[in-house]
Structure formats: structure tokens, C-alpha cells
Amino acid sequence: MDLCLIICIFAEISDLNNLKMKLVKNTLTGKIMSRISESEPGSLFFISDFSEFNNDEVVGKILSQLEKLGKISRLSNGIYFKPIQSRFGVIYPDTETIVNAIAKRDQAQIMPTGSTAMNLLGLSTQVPMNAVYITTGSSRTINIGKRKITFRRSVPKNFAYKGKIMSLLVQALKSIGEENVTNEHMYTIRDLLMNNQEESTIKNDLQLAPLWIKKLLSQIINEQIHE
């Protein structure tokens, strides 16, 4: 076969492949794939992230198909992420990343409670498998592998605290209970209050706390002042 003819054939094949790629990129599937491929590993995706296409049902089917192809992994119903591969397998996003992404999507406030708040403050060394958050959004439970994240709708008062440390302390102490506060807890809380940068908001936040928590924290603060 003539060399020029061979070159022409390969050129035509190349042009066809390029045309196919352009056509794919211009389809809804191609646009979604492009966005995913350009994102960082570990990025989360919701159907609502592609709302500009005005077809949630089709977007949901495309994401499901991309999961089957191994392009993304499914966290929970309607929640996907771009997998991070390691020698031990896929690395899942941490709980904080997931809940913050959900809060952003729902335009809702969230706050850790119970053992989650205790662990974040150093009042407990136990890392909870089941994290519970209060929210201004909808109540729901999300199962992620062996983990469970629960959102419980709560009253606006719980989100009125101006300081992050104080809001977490109130939630943690509610979980511990007035009768179960130990000396070790007191020492940890003392260190938290000494080292936090929220002095200007503490007075306001104390007025929002349940009475027994207000008395406890006021006692610790007064002891610090008189040292």
C-alpha cells in the first residue's frame, strides 16, 4: 500500500477519534465527566452540584453509571466522591468533610453533639463511629460504610452562640451530664477556656447556656481570674 495512502487513512482515523471525543465532551455525560476529572481526589459530588443541567433524574443516572465504571465512588444515597487510592484500598473522606459539604449544599448550620463534641474538645479520647450533629436543616441519617452520621433538627437557640469553643462545650457538657463531670473534665475545660481566643464573646454565650452549665463555667472562669 502506498505510504501516502496509509498516512491519509491514519489521519482520517485520528480526525474521527478527535471528533468523537469532542462529541462526548459536548454531551451531558461528557460535561459531568470533565468536571469530575478536573476535581481534586476526595472531592464530593451531589446531584444538586449539576443543577445547571436542569435534569436531576438524568444526572443521577449518569453519576450511578460513572460509579459502575469506577470513575467515582458512592458514599450514600445521592452522595459520591472522587476516590483516593492507596495500597490499602480506597480512602474515604473524613466525617468533618462530609458534614460540611452537606451543610453547604443544604445552606444549613451544623454543630457536633455528644461524643463527637467531647472528642473534638479533648474531653474524651473515644473516636465515635456514629457522629451526631444538630442542624437547622432536615433531620436524616447517612450510612457510610461502618460509620453513621445523624443530623437532628434543633432550635435556633443552639446556634446563637458566638464562640465556637463555647457552643461545643455546651453540647459536650449536656452529653456528659451534671452529675458526671469529673475533675479531669474540669482541668480540660479550664485549659480550653484559658487558651481560647473568645474572651469577648464568653459573657454573652454564658447567658445562653443551661443554668448548671453557666454556673460550672462561671466558677472555672472566676477561679482563673483570682489566680
Q: What is the pLDDT of residue 7?
A: 41
Which one has a higher pLDDT value, 80 or 128? 80
Strand 130-135 vs strand 147-153: parallel, antiparallel, or unpaired? Answer: parallel
What CATH number was assigned to the domain covering residues 27-93? 1.10.10.10
Q: What is the pLDDT of residue 166?
A: 92
Per the document, the length of the chain is: 227
What's the mean pLDDT in 158-178?
Answer: 94
Q: How many CB atoms lie within 10 A of CB 174?
A: 17
Q: What is the pLDDT of residue 225?
A: 57
What's the mean pLDDT in 152-157?
Answer: 94
Return d(Cα 188, Cα 209) in angstroms, integer: 19
pLDDT band, very low/low/confident/very high, at 84 (cuts 50, 70, 90) = confident
- Report yes or no: 168 and 117 within 8 Å, Cβ to Cβ: yes
Return d(Cα 201, Cα 170) in angstroms, integer: 14
**Cα 193–217–122 angle (5° rounding)?**
50
Ramachandran sector of residue 142 (left: φ over 0; alpha: ψ -120 to 50; beta: rest) = beta
CA 74 from chain center: how many Å? 15
pLDDT band, very low/low/confident/very high, at 107 (cuts 50, 70, 90) = very high
What's the mean pLDDT in 189-214?
Answer: 88
Which one has a higher pLDDT value, 2 or 92? 92
Q: Where exactly are the structural domains of the chain? A: 27-93, 94-155, 158-220
pLDDT band, very low/low/confident/very high, at 226 (cuts 50, 70, 90) = low
- Report yes or no: 63 and 56 within 8 Å, Cβ to Cβ: no
User: Which of 40, 63, 167 is closest to 113 using CA atoms?
Assistant: 167
pLDDT at residue 64 greater than cutoff 60: yes
What's the mean pLDDT in 172-178?
Answer: 95
Return d(Cα 66, Cα 166) in angstroms, integer: 43
- Report yes or no: 93 and 44 within 8 Å, Cβ to Cβ: yes
pTM equals 0.78
